[in-house]
Amino acid sequence: MKAVQYASARNFAVVDVPDPTPEDEEVVMKVAANGVCHTDVNVHEGEFFASFPLIPGHEVVGTVVDKGKSVPGDMAIGARRIVNNASTCGRCYYCRRGQPLFCENFYSLGINGPGGAAEFIRVHYAKTVPIADHLTFEEAVVAEPLACAIHGMDQVGMHLGDQVLIFGAGPSGQLLAQLAKWSGASRVVVVAPPSAKLDLAARLKAADITLPIPRSQPEAARPTLAELAPQGFPVVIDTTGAPAVIEQALEYVHIDGRFLVYGMARFGDRVLWSPYDIFRRQIHIVGSFAQIDTMDRAAALLASGKIDTTGLITHRYPLHEYARALDNVARGIGIKTVIIPD
């Protein structure tokens, strides 16, 4: 089969590799779509616990074309499935404590195991989720980033009626805005550079207010945000990963409010916060790393129609144009980019 293969960080090519064959409890799926996100950019740089050689791609949907002898009979050839890319060992310190997301042997297809930037992928049958009959592959491929966004909302612990401020209108910002709305936010405000991304947040009606502010000038948002929420926002979420935005976002958090650091910053990035300010205003700063057990909920939300993916995917590339797709994401071109192997 054809696959994107990294020999080392920044060093990949589209090559021929052997077709995968399933073990007893595995299925082989023909990849219908593979989403590309900023995590793939970090993997390209050798960050985010990437392990080489590697076939990237962790947002995967497709069709079962082969299965091992111990795969249940109700998982038929031709079944359309979402891949849950993350697996844990169940034996390490964190798994035994009921914190599997921090498994010391965390295994993620497309990060440290062969992923979906290929014609086929091999996966344990239990790490797949059915795609509702009425959903297209392009709608279903949003499941993995949506599962991560659900985990983020779990961490932030939003209350009914909270005002929510979100920095960034990329795929994560779009999904988190919709989740905040469905979680009972009284108002969702999205701040992002003026672009089609911000327009989409308004068009999908997840954002009650959109505020076009250049990323290089986050302070320009201050007067409007102070007018909208003089005491601050009970929930503030950063999806940009930009240190300048993260640093200033804290000032918009309500006393005893919650700040979710969701966007992936670079390993060496640093921000300057006042410990006294955090102490005095009792700010809760929380992170959100990936997902391990929210894929079922993501699939259910997509099936219900509550999450609107209309217009989210803006760029589609064949497998041999993976470099172009990766460059799109790195440069922030469009909103969501996917690889369609066919």
Provide the CATH number for the domain around residue 102.
3.90.180.10
Whether 180 and 211 map to the same domain: the answer is yes
pLDDT for residue 342: 81
Whether 108 and 137 map to the same domain: the answer is yes
pLDDT for residue 74: 86
Whether 134 and 30 map to the same domain: the answer is yes
Residue 74 lies in a domain: yes
Provide the residue type at 60 as one letter: V
Q: Tell me, what CATH number does 259's domain have? A: 3.40.50.720
Residue 292 lies in a domain: no
Whether 134 and 188 map to the same domain: the answer is no
Whether 131 and 230 map to the same domain: the answer is no
Whether 41 and 158 map to the same domain: the answer is no
Residue 305 lies in a domain: no
Q: pTM surpassing 0.85? A: yes
Whether 155 and 259 map to the same domain: the answer is yes
Q: Whole-angstrom Cα distance, residue 112 to residue 51? A: 5
Q: Are strands 107-108 and 86-87 parallel, antiparallel or unpaired?
A: antiparallel
Number of domains in the chain: 2
Whether 91 and 70 map to the same domain: the answer is yes
Residue 307 lies in a domain: no
Residue 173 lies in a domain: yes
Of 256, 255, 263, 254, the closest CA to residue 215 belongs to 263
pLDDT for residue 252: 97
Of 115, 88, 84, 86, the closest CA to residue 99 belongs to 88
Whether 127 and 8 map to the same domain: the answer is yes
pLDDT for residue 113: 97
Whether 108 and 226 map to the same domain: the answer is no
Positions in the chain whose pLDDT score sits under 50: none
Whether 167 and 133 map to the same domain: the answer is no
Domain that holds residue 183: 149-287
Other Cβ atoms less than 10 A from the Cβ of 3: the count is 28
Whether 156 and 272 map to the same domain: the answer is yes
Residue 297 lies in a domain: no
Sign of torsion, CA 245 141 126 111? negative
Provide the residue type at 236 as one letter: V
Q: Whole-angstrom Cα distance, residue 315 to residue 131? A: 22
For residue range 134-190, what is the model confidence (pLDDT) as tens digits?
A: 999 999 999 999 999 999 999 999 999 999 999 999 999 999 999 999 999 999 999
Residue 280 lies in a domain: yes
pLDDT for residue 150: 98
Residue 102 lies in a domain: yes
